[in-house]
């Protein structure tokens, strides 16, 4: 009786072929990575100018967030817990106002934490950006 089972050697060859196929990047991926390396090592004048413009936008965003953080800190320092209010407006002109000190305190805490996160992300972007 003959056996139709494949030998262990053939099974390992098939597994090796699959591993090689999965580990080899495609030609288009190679071209993209090569062009990206060329961009970094041999930048054009237009490319550098475009990166500078993008960096200026990142810097402006970071300055804006720092300014908002400073405004919020001044607001928190100047509040006495009795005269603060939160006012929400939507595009339709509807308004919602809350003056309960506990609610205002919680809203300020959430705003402060989110702003810290945004500033941290912005700072990382500025520091890691290369022109």
| pLDDT by position in tens, the chain (length 131) | 544 555 555 555 555 555 545 555 577 766 677 766 777 777 788 888 999 999 999 999 999 999 999 999 999 999 887 888 999 999 999 999 998 889 999 999 999 999 999 999 999 999 999 87
Residue with tokens 């805490």: 109
If we measure between CA atoms, which residue out of 122, 3, 126, 4 comes closest to residue 55?
126
Residue with tokens 């609610």: 103
* 76 close to 119: Cβ distance less than 8 angstroms: no
Dist. CA 54–CA 7, nearest whole Å: 59
């Amino acid at each position: 009786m003959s056996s139709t089972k494949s030998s262990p050697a053939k099974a390992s060859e098939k597994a090796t072929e699959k591993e090689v196929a999965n580990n080899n990047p495609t030609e288009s991926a190679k071209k993209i990575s090569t062009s990206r390396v060329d961009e970094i090592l041999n930048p054009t004048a237009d490319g550098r100018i475009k990166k500078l413009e993008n960096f200026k936008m990142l810097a402006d965003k970071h300055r804006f967030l720092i300014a908002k953080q400073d405004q919020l800190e001044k607001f928190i320092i100047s509040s006495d817990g009795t005269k603060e209010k939160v006012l929400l407006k939507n595009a339709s002109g509807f308004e919602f106002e809350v003056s309960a000190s506990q609610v205002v305190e919680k809203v300020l805490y959430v705003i402060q934490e989110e702003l810290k996160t945004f500033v941290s992300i912005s700072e990382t972007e500025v520091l890691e950006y290369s022109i």
